[in-house]
Structure 1
């Protein structure tokens, strides 16, 4: 099942983000093909203000357990995290095409 995850950084969180970025990227890499898309979204100053992920997980419980291990989350970077099932309709990756 696909999920969209939208996380918003706490105000002034850029230093926390940068300090934990290598561990966060390693965490994403270890998830392998479960990661369909990932990257920061940018604030008005063109600096990272949060994260957007599209991931494939067995269910919401698996997603929540995995998100709890994100180095950014562990470091307290996020002000909020929203997640919802996602249906990729337009230009899905080959492994998700009908």
Structure 2
């Protein structure tokens, strides 16, 4: 049986800032039900990659495909309309709420 097609594909993503090449040809595929960890040293481009996906930064090159179609969210609101959002780690959890309730609290 062939694997499910990816929900998200980021291909050849590049992003530069003055004097810094933050992303240099990054590729990523995510399928339904998968969990991924973006890991690296300070300045490795982790936050920049997430900000490109979430529409906070436009990539200088490469493509983002979401649910089979190429997208270029120009803002976080445009990304949200596509169903893409960033949830940051919260250290303060509310006792008595489920994991899902804590994740979506305030979102």
Higher strand share: 1
Higher helix share: 1
* Structure number with bigger Rg: 2
Q: TM-score, normalised by structure 1?
A: 0.30
Q: TM-score, normalised by structure 2?
A: 0.28
